[in-house]
Amino acid sequence: MPGYRPEEIEKKWQAHWKEHNTFKADNQSGKPKYYVLDMFPYPSGAGLHVGHPLGYIASDIVSRYKRLQGYHVLHPMGFDSFGLPAEQYAIQTGQHPALTTEKNIDTYIKQLNSLGFSYDWSREVRTSDPAYYKWTQWIFLKLFNAWYNLDTDRAEPIETLIAQFEQSGNAGVRAAGDDEERPSFTAEEWKAKSEPEQMATLLAYRLAYQSDTYVNWCAALGTVLSNDEVKDGVSERGGFPVERRLMPQWNLRITAYADRLLTGLDTIDWPEAVKEMQRNWIGRSVGAEVVFPLQNDASQNIKVYTTRVDTIYGATFMVLAPEHELVEQLTTPEQREAVESYIAQSKHRSERDRMADVKTVSGVFTGSYCLNPLTNEPVPIWLADYVLAGYGTGAVMAVPSGDQRDWNFAKHFGLPIIQVLDAQKDIEKEADPTKEGRFINSGIIDGLGYKEATTKLIGWLEERGLGKGKVNFRVRDAIFGRQRYWGEPIPIYYKDGTAYGLPESELPLVLPEIDEYKPTETGEPPLGRAQDWKYEGKYEYELSTMPGWAGSSWYYLRYMDPHNQERFVGQEAEEYWKTVDLYMGGAEHATGHLLYSRFWYLFLKDLGLVSGHEPFQKLINQGMILGRSNFVYRINGTNQFVTLSKKGQYDTTPLHVDVSIVDNDVLDQEAFRKWRPDYTNAEFVMEDNGTYVCGTEVEKMSKNKFNVVNPDVLVGQYGADALRLYEMFLGPLEQFKPWNTSGMSGVSGFLKKLWRLFHPEDGNLAVTDEAPAPAELKALHKAIRKAAEDIDKFSFNTSVSTFMICVNELTALNCHKRAILEPLTVVVSPYAPHLAEELWAELGHAPGSISEASFPEFKEEYLEEATVEYPIAFNGKMRGKMTFAANAPTSEIEKEVLASEVFEKFGEGKTPKKVIVVPGRMVNVVL
């Protein structure tokens, strides 16, 4: 075969793998199992750019390596195919989102296959497939028909709760959720309730429930957005205004699992940064709930949750969230205009913006007061958007001497600041949150320390029914509804206004056809446009669809048994694969997908449907590949563009230019003129050598910056194996790395060198059966050891360097020996699988069988040197060198040194006092 031709080799082996289902995994094997999972992609219309495959390449290397180690590997791929982008495109074009999604998936599959990934495509799943989302709906119904029993610390079927109600009412029932929403009733009162009344009562206990919830509402998109989809008060997609609005929403009671989600983090091998993000998001705190009666109506009160009840004597004002339910009642006529204006303003700030903005001070006085339960003194009630309705009670007792945000607020509005600990310092300059010292100005706890004061106060409050000790969590129940079309229908119907779960036998509830994909003229979600879409022809279905994270919260389980029509995953398949051994994906999912997936898994564990403890045992976050942008410099007011070195001589504006028409920062001027109509008549002020040199900057790869590099182009030019090697070679997997296409030529050259070890001068196969020399074995075994160590540590970039060194050494040794090249082919195969398959077949093995080979065993003895060169020193000064056998005893080394020409020349005819031999290092003769 003349030369290395990746374009032929790679297509050949990709076709072979597909035809022979080379990477298909059965749900049973005598081998140990290993489950490798990529965070599956959303199939956008733009397809993949070179930054996307980074994690896929790494996980594929691990998958192929584990097969060589004797593992039975599951390495699947699918698509998170519901979502807002496809729906927005459908609104703009009128084309059904299923059609664009299908087209995008076809593009992704073609691109993924072109990179040689060893996926078991027989297990592909798509979240928008009714056969898949039937089971997403099934899990939702399980959540709807379950409650969380705090006594058993697990979820249980709702029937067990109903049985308790029938026997003894809700006395003694300890359920996750807000007890204040659950009036007490006896067994007789329960039985006397009508069916709708019973259903309404149960709704307050269910793990999937409906309630009025503050959400991020985007009128232009006609839907609720998650906090992740809102930035600076506008939607991330489209930049449309977003406001906080109280709306009836489906919620999932993730708060029931907060403690277990927290403790489970200690059992999994995840990056510490990700675990810390989840700990902070869950936000466990130990404190107290305290009642502040209203001054003008002692029958009503404001509850606050505080972790510093010890500072209650320093509470000089109360702050409520603008959405707090008592705001209307507390606002006096004199303050109404100011309060309404402030509330309107705060609606346009997302919760994330409100939490993150620690510099801006804003607020408004309601005109009303509550009473400090310890002193009975009036406390003014203010509104401020740094307090969130959904966290704690939506109210904060403000202690400016100990909290900086409260201190800023007090200073801004001229409110009192009271010192409560003798150890607090400089509180006129800033807050001091210390817990040291003794309490002052603090009534019944004066003179006490922090722990004693806290215990005494909680006891005092509990005795009088004014408070209690409490553990609280920052995490809030997950909003589980979107006013969109392209998502899973929620399997709920309404009878006389009461929500009922669809019978499981009726699943899947399939998305109906509609005429348009935007909200109705009356403001209903797009599903309100469906004609005659009712349960049993008369009961209205829920019109919201599930959020994007619904289908991705359990997809890893479906991969285990994707064609099972009777169960979401077969019991035997689940017990065999159990959990994901390695999960590869981006850190941006730390508090979204990863948290919700763990929640769903724990719930399914409670129902006895899964057998592990956590879904993902090891997590690796790959870094981002950054784009290398190019800029041209337009002279303002003209259509002239000045080169980089001369731009300082003119008044210019830098403009991004498509990197595909730039080569080593030199612009293709004719291509630039053809790139966009407004550049047709562009003129250039060039370098002295007649070229136009662009400016550069490393930044996020984005279509808007024209710095996206299409992997299809690079595969066509250099081959998939070269692209795989280069992406790994760029640097440590977890780090951010700049892309530079010019580096591709280096790894391409390495692959050609590897080919020539088998085909000298690109001729026919010339592998011999000669016995290998020590130097050849040393080069090989260095590569074996390094590759194994690196893959086990997920440090892929240094392996590529090792391969290059090995091939250079073998080339210098003119090595063409089977005993060296055959194991080297196996070692390189996880990184460059196409070339490895070709060489493996040429060596006489069954076509496509390299994944069934065994990873070569590293042997230390091949790295041991036969001889060692010793520096010979006299009184510490090196005077010459001598070579000895590596295992030579010190006595023999000493004898030979004293008999050598070096000693004769530098020994000065003296009898040495002693000879010091440092084995393997040096000899020092002391005269």
Task: Output the domain CATH number for residue 300.
Answer: 3.90.740.10
Whether 571 maps to a domain, the answer reads yes
| Phi, psi dihedrals of residue 799, rounded to the nearest 5° | -65, -40
User: Whose CA is closest to 431, among 395, 453, 399, 385?
Assistant: 399
For position 217, what pLDDT does the model report? 78
CB under 8 Å to 527, separation ≥6 — which residues?
485, 489, 511, 512, 514, 533, 541, 543, 544, 545
Whether 274 maps to a domain, the answer reads no
The yes-or-no verdict on residue 725 having pLDDT over 70 is: yes
**For residue 126, what is the DSSP state?**
B
Instruction: Tell me the pLDDT band of 160, cut-offs 50, 70 and 90.
Output: very high
Instruction: Tell me the pLDDT band of 87, cut-offs 50, 70 and 90.
Output: confident
Task: Output the domain CATH number for residue 731.
Answer: 1.10.730.10
Euclidean distance between CA atoms 312 and 306, whole angstroms = 9
| Residues 880 and 811 both lie in one domain | no
Cβ-contact 847, 836 below 8 angstroms: no
The yes-or-no verdict on residue 586 having pLDDT over 80 is: yes
Cβ-contact 730, 724 below 8 angstroms: no
User: Whose CA is closest to 733, among 56, 37, 162?
Assistant: 56
What's the average model confidence in pLDDT over 459-466? 95
Instruction: Compute the 3-state secondary structure of the chain and give helix, strand, coil in percent, each to the nearest 5.
Output: 40, 20, 40
Cβ-contact 299, 291 below 8 angstroms: no
- Amino acid 142 reads K
Euclidean distance between CA atoms 511 and 488, whole angstroms = 7
| Residues 531 and 559 both lie in one domain | no
Cβ-contact 914, 905 below 8 angstroms: no
The yes-or-no verdict on residue 476 having pLDDT over 70 is: yes
Whether 194 maps to a domain, the answer reads no
Nearest 10 degrees: Cα torsion 179, 182, 188, 192: -170
| Residues 747 and 670 both lie in one domain | no
The yes-or-no verdict on residue 661 having pLDDT over 90 is: yes
| Residues 671 and 633 both lie in one domain | yes
Tell me which residue range forms the domain holding 117.
23-128+549-621
Residue 453 Cα to chain centre, angstroms:
42
For position 93, what pLDDT does the model report? 85
Strand positions, DSSP E, 57-120: 72-74
Euclidean distance between CA atoms 98 and 325, whole angstroms = 42
For position 465, what pLDDT does the model report? 93
What's the average model confidence in pLDDT over 293-320? 94
Whether 269 maps to a domain, the answer reads no
What's the average model confidence in pLDDT over 540-557? 95
For position 228, what pLDDT does the model report? 66
Instruction: Tell me the pLDDT band of 352, cut-offs 50, 70 and 90.
Output: low
Query: Cis peptide before 76, with omega less than 30 degrees from 0?
Result: no
What is the percent of the chain with per-residue pLDDT over 70, rounded to a whole number?
98
Nearest 10 degrees: Cα torsion 561, 84, 38, 271: -120
For position 404, what pLDDT does the model report? 94
For position 336, what pLDDT does the model report? 96
The yes-or-no verdict on residue 81 having pLDDT over 80 is: yes
The yes-or-no verdict on residue 1 having pLDDT over 60 is: no
User: Whose CA is closest to 277, among 516, 21, 590?
Assistant: 590
User: Whose CA is closest to 717, among 663, 665, 667?
Assistant: 663
What's the average model confidence in pLDDT over 60-85? 95
| Residues 48 and 73 both lie in one domain | yes
Instruction: Tell me the pLDDT band of 687, cut-offs 50, 70 and 90.
Output: very high
| Residues 301 and 418 both lie in one domain | yes
For position 356, what pLDDT does the model report? 65
Q: Which residues are annotated as a binding site?
A: 703
Q: Which residues are annotated as a binding site for ATP?
A: 703
Cβ-contact 368, 293 below 8 angstroms: no
What is the distance between the terminal CA atoms of the chain, rounded to a whole angstrom? 66
| Residues 553 and 538 both lie in one domain | no
Task: Output the domain CATH number for residue 911.
Answer: 3.10.20.590
User: Whose CA is closest to 27, among 569, 562, 572, 581?
Assistant: 572
For position 599, what pLDDT does the model report? 98
| Residues 318 and 398 both lie in one domain | yes
| Residues 681 and 729 both lie in one domain | no
Euclidean distance between CA atoms 9 and 19, whole angstroms = 15
Name 378's bridge partners: 371
| Residues 330 and 438 both lie in one domain | yes
What's the average model confidence in pLDDT over 437-458? 96
User: Whose CA is closest to 173, among 97, 163, 564?
Assistant: 163
Domain closes at, from 694, 709, 724? 709
Q: How far, CA to CA in Å, does 537 sit from each of 527, 534, 543?
A: 16, 5, 15
Whether 177 maps to a domain, the answer reads no
Domain closes at, from 621, 649, 681? 621
| Residues 457 and 501 both lie in one domain | no
CB under 8 Å to 323, separation ≥6 — which residues?
214, 244, 246, 343, 389, 394
The yes-or-no verdict on residue 337 having pLDDT over 80 is: yes
Residue 827 Cα to chain centre, angstroms:
30
Strands 301-306 and 922-926, by their bridges, are: unpaired
Structure tokens that stand for 358 in this block:
């620690």
| Residues 513 and 607 both lie in one domain | no
Please tell me whether residue 138 adopts helix, strand or coil conformation: helix
Cβ-contact 50, 709 below 8 angstroms: yes
Whether 2 maps to a domain, the answer reads no
Whether 220 maps to a domain, the answer reads no
Whether 367 maps to a domain, the answer reads yes
> How many separate domains does the chain show?
6
Q: How far, CA to CA in Å, does 292 sit from each of 132, 287, 296, 392?
A: 51, 16, 12, 15
What's the average model confidence in pLDDT over 784-788? 96
Domain closes at, from 806, 834, 856? 856
| Phi, psi dihedrals of residue 309, rounded to the nearest 5° | -60, -25
For position 230, what pLDDT does the model report? 77
Looking from the CA of 358 toward its CB, the CA atoms found within 13 Å total 6
Is-above-0.75 flag for pTM?
Answer: yes
**For residue 817, what is the DSSP state?**
B
Euclidean distance between CA atoms 876 and 474, whole angstroms = 68
Q: What is the pLDDT of residues 372-418, one digit of tens each?
A: 999 999 999 999 988 887 777 889 999 999 999 999 999 999 999 99
